[in-house]
Structure 1
């Protein structure tokens, strides 16, 4: 049951693969739509989930644009395609004769909050990768450069810039928790970082809670993707450089990228799509170019050398294996060392 006091939400899909929608549908035991209802959120329209199509859908957009339907939150999934030559006609909203670029600029000023769902909507994402023939961008950023489809000075009716729930795709919890905070009117400028990302996930690193942290601490590194060791030194993992609590909350009931054997590609970061070789760590003089955030290079080199010199044989062996080759046995290594001395 809905009332006139419901928090209204309109979701549009621009240059998108639909992955953000697929992600949020996993949210909650009862499903995302039920969770929205529990927080008093009324979904005005979603192109993949709503029953309204054709004339009915156009009527909803028209009422919002004219100010006849209150819009609390406008959520955009996917990059805004501004080409060719600023017309936006590479991405037309079917049946309206207008580009998604035009619709975004028309509806955003009507919303109390404007939210970019996913790194494409936030920063341009994969569609904005070079050579970018469609002139794709995010709502308020093009990679790290502020501006985007709405401009650097855009503020929604609440006074906030675009809220960027980045990620490719973002965790369903990030989306729903942000929407819930907006619906409860307890989300402020203090709750986003310099790139507009909600601090509920942006105040963490993907590295936090990683199941491979013991290998990282001893710099016991994997050299092939099927091995259990740390993926940073050789295989391009950016978990120590990427914001997100990915390893602290379950995805689809359990797991994360690094737990599944894949490296972190920093998909919450602007410009991640420009990375050359996701499973390769660029190095200069044998030292990884991308070091953990806030750690001076000299400190990392010194700590890495010290850690490697202290690596237990068990950790070193397991790092290069696809399974636990040697389990922990208290005192075993000490006894082994004593035997060697004899």
Structure 2
């Protein structure tokens, strides 16, 4: 720590930021203080990372560069050891190729391979070559020597945009080519950088990956659908839907389900963890429907404005009772009948009260109250005490 020019105070602040950056209950931050996290990380060897790009837009890397708790610089300099990254490294050409070969040889069986972008499989090598080698060969060579692989983004997870019809390159994800390898998928276009950060931090702490679902996604970030915590859920339940961009409902922030929002069928944490630490910086937050970018069967396959099926929730407005009621006019006859009934009740009450009042004055009625002037006879002089 001191060798890196970092004070103990700064390191504790950094560990506190790790706890903020891992909001999903990771093992390294579960019920631990910053001091405990610091003690654990101080004993961890920085895992070497090799980051490869294939058919991608570099959006996943750009998203990672925007983290602030901790920042990406802290991550690559103090938590992990980034050995190769074509976008961030200064070298290029032959120098970059030599850096990759050296890193793979030095850390064989120990490094984590991060893959960004899909891999083309049609016409071997015609669509993509790296240093003269087809993309499939590069993945097989480097991935085969990795301890584990993280596929970041929808493209690396299952093909993403390049795999959309007609899929001219035969784009696939890493797991399609290396099914027996230890792989964790972090889909998204781009994924939230803190999901990636949480996975790397857990691996740096104890050498394990988080528990995953059937699609190899970490459960801590993909265990619920966006619709569960969507800020527009109340409008969905009330049946308030945007019908056209710019209409009154859209300006009022109504639900985008009928505009093709895929939130009810998309598992991700976007509705609770926004991008760049700025509220509402995510598709639905800026008035656009979710496209389901984390779902292999949805994103770039289901048309954007096609409404998805509801599997686990009730369709509106059956979810809740209507919030408005239609009222009709009251006929004069009904008004008259109600008036008669009220008058009769009032008259009966008045008569009963008069009878009760007279009963109280009647001495023959048991329990009646006799006025004071009748309860005692006037006293005579003989009854008065003699002085």
What TM-score do you get using the length of structure 2 for normalisation?
0.67
How many matched pairs? Answer: 285
What does 1:1-342 correspond to in 2, within 5 Å? Answer: 5-29=45-69, 31-39=71-79, 41-66=80-105, 71-84=110-123, 87-93=124-130, 96-140=131-175, 148-150=176-178, 152=179, 154-155=180-181, 160=182, 162-185=183-206, 187-188=208-209, 191-226=211-246, 227=250, 228-232=253-257, 234-254=258-278, 255=280, 256-281=282-307, 289-291=308-310, 293-295=311-313, 300-301=314-315, 304-305=317-318, 307=320, 309-312=321-324
Q: 1:163: how far off?
A: 0.5
| CA deviation map 1:276-335 (0-9, x unaligned) | 431342xxxxxxx511x434xxxx25x63363x52359xxxxxxxxxxxxxxxxxxxxxx
CA 1:306/1:13 → structure 2, altered by over 3 Å: closer, same or farther? Answer: closer
Kindly indicate whether structure 1 or structure 2 has the higher relative contact order, using CA contacts under 8 Å at least 6 residues apart.
Answer: 1
User: How far apart are the structure 2 equivalents of 1:340 and 1:181?
Assistant: 69
> How big is the shift at 1:69?
5.5
Residue by residue over 1:159-190, the C-alpha shift from the partner in whole angstroms, topping out at 9 and shown as x without a partner, is: x3x110000110111111111112223534x6
Residue 338 (structure 2) aligns with: none
Q: Distance in 1 between matches of 2:290 and 2:53?
A: 26
1:271 Cα deviation after fit: 3.6
Write out per-residue CA displacement over residues 179-220 of structure 1, whole angstroms, 9 at most, x where no aligned residue. Answer: 1112223534x6111001111211122123322121012121
Higher strand share: 1
User: Is the 1:207–1:240 contact (alpha carbons within 8 Å) kept by the matching residues of 2?
Assistant: yes
SS at match of 1:9: strand
Checking the alignment, whether the CA contact within 8 Å between 2:45 and 2:204 is kept in structure 1 is: no
Which structure dedicates a bigger proportion of its chain to helix?
A: 2
Q: State which structure, 1 or 2, has the greater radius of gyration over its C-alpha atoms.
A: 2
Calculate the aligned-residue CA RMSD, in Å: 2.8
Structure 2, unmatched stretches of 5+, are 5-42, 336-387
1:87-130 Cα deviation digits (max 9, x unpaired): 2331111xx21122111111112111101010100000110111
Cα deviation code 1:124-144 (max 9, x no counterpart): 01101111111110011xxxx
Distance (whole Å) between structure 2 residues aligned to residue 279 and residue 192 of structure 1: 30
Post-superposition shift, 1:68? 5.7
Gap regions ≥5 residues in structure 1: 141-147, 282-288, 314-336
- SS where residue 208 of structure 1 aligns? helix
Contact 1:121-1:137 within 8 A present in 2 as well = yes
Change (3 A) 1:31 1:340: farther
1:27-55 Cα distance to aligned partner (Å, 9 max, x none): 1256312223332x010011111122223
